[in-house]
Structure 1
Amino acid sequence: MTRTAVLICPGRGTYNKAELGYLARHHGDKQALIGGFDAQRMAAGQESVTELDTAGRYSVSKYSRGDVASPLIYASAIADVQSLAGDIDVVAVTGNSMGWYIALAAAGALSPDAGFEVVNTMGQLMQEQLIGGQLVYPCQGDDWQLDLRRKAELLRMARDINALPNHDLSLSIDLGGMIVLAGNDNGLVAFEQAVPVMQDRFPMRLANHAAFHTALQAPVAAAGRAKLPVDLFQNPMRPMVDGRGHIWWPDANTGQDLWAYTLNTQVVETYDFTRSVQSAAREFAPDLFIVTGPGTTLGGAVAQSLVQINWQGLGGKADFKARQAEDPLVISMADPVQRALVAEQGVAS
């Protein structure tokens, strides 16, 4: 029996110490795929994906870099896509932030090698310029009920800070029950000083993250367009939901449009991951939401986005956990138990 699924690709921050060796553990049978990525890296004088994945030691300073994290996350996610069981019918693809690049390849708008070229190029450009930074702050209660008033207050605070001289701050990503703000150091510090500490860790700065999805990234977007040709892009073979909640249908768009959105709009404008998940749910009503690896953190944001629209009667955290225990809805492929529900058995190297 076929199971329909919306496939969700992760962004930065999902290849951490626990993920070191992810490719070796799960994808030893995909040497041709990963070998192609390695060849691109070595031709550019960069350490190969295989070398990075099989290193004996993980360090935040190295593995959080855009030119290291991005290719590792892409390789892990695309290999996971190719590992889905035969009864999984992917009816749409979306992703969070950098996950949009992965979604393009998962949907066939980029070949696997072209997708790697886009990710590796943009990761390197982001790291070289490293304009601004990001922080995360919650706007929901413990039961995953979105506090709309508090969220509006926080966004108004960000706008007020952004209006100050030499301060840049704006919404980068709407991420379920969290907001990700991005800006220059003055803007980020002003926000950090204005809000209370929550859960002993928020507001949380994200290491080696630039001011993604804001106007500050215009130079990076321009450099990306100069380096990455339009002919890398083609019509997708599967529907895609972008960072505005807009659906790109197969045969309804041109590669030129995707190139322009990918290397301009989504780089410099807010990425609404919450809306992308909700749009995918409403339009495609899948049996499953499958989050590729590496990492399992994105599953929470997916669940929170669904709770916000009371998807299939999910009114809060308790409802979701009960549903997951009885009949899992959100599957994280980086979780070994959940992976077994949707993946063919991989072969470790």
Structure 2
Amino acid sequence: MTTVTAYAAPVGKAPLERTTIERRPLGESDVMIDIEFCGICHSDIHQVREGWGDGIFPMVPGHEITGVVTEAGSKVTRFTVGDRVGVGCMVDSCRRCENCKAGLEQYCLDQPTWTYNAIGKDGQPTYGGYSQKIVVDENYVLRIPEGLSLDVAAPLLCAGITTYSPLKFWNAGPGKRVAVVGFGGLGHMGVKIAHALGAEVTVLSQSLRKKDDGLRLGADHYYATADAKTFTDLAGSFDIIINTVSVPLDYAAFLSLLRTSGALVNVGIPEEEVQVSLASIFGNRRSLTSSNIGGIRETQEMLDFCADHQLGAEIELIEAGQINEAYERVANSDVRYRFVIDTATL
């Protein structure tokens, strides 16, 4: 076992505190990673504050992890000491079900082992990236291309793949009109990626406060959803709408913005139950659907794509002692556009 410094919530809804945790011994297929950076995802806050249900405590959040391999097990073939690597939202899966075999480990029929707030196959709680080191099976580790610095690459392990996967699945590209609802940590990456794929991109944000940033990062258009005129002007406009916000929407209003056979894809999960009228999807073969992260193969594809197009996240680099303040700022939408922890400050 290796003892490392970490930041953890001791109980639900409590502030995070500096502490120590134990990392498992290095297995023959494992790599030990010195974590250099870890992004703060809104889902970290949902889980620490138990907005999505009971958590496992103490909880060390963090699933946007980048760092360097410092040790490799005897049967590791994909990585060597010194490699620049990343770890995303999952660290294992059953590997036997049809989804795992198809490279869709995020939809493992036996449930993926999430990077934190889960129980691993050894029966122990998993701890995330707000820590100095992590031990992960090499099959769930990603290679960070040289074209990406580790700090701006960290949010790609969640925010990047969470938007890339549905954009690819629903064929965003030239001739397609894509709208991104919300312009935060996920939304700004959705705009960058959709633009790089060649789609015509529109941001649908509550206000025009971030319009200049949206246009700078690749949006062709930017509208305020607080203005009712937006929904009349844009009726029937989009092939794909990626909803990145984690609060309930007027789904009928947003579905009305889709073209025939268009899809409204939810990648944020509200803490509250939502209601949808089925009448809002009839008549134009519209779809209300969802998307999780991507599998390991697709996540590596996303990282390579982002390196080729120089698409790092827009970040605010913080010290570990600022985590609780950062949580409050994320909850108040006061970040442009992803907080990233410099783990050297742990």
Which bracket does the TM-score occupy, shorter chain normalised?
under 0.3
Task: Flag the structure with higher helix content.
Answer: 1
- The TM-score normalised by the length of structure 1 is 0.28
- The TM-score normalised by the length of structure 2 is 0.28
Structure number with greater CO (CA < 8 Å, separation at least 6) is 1
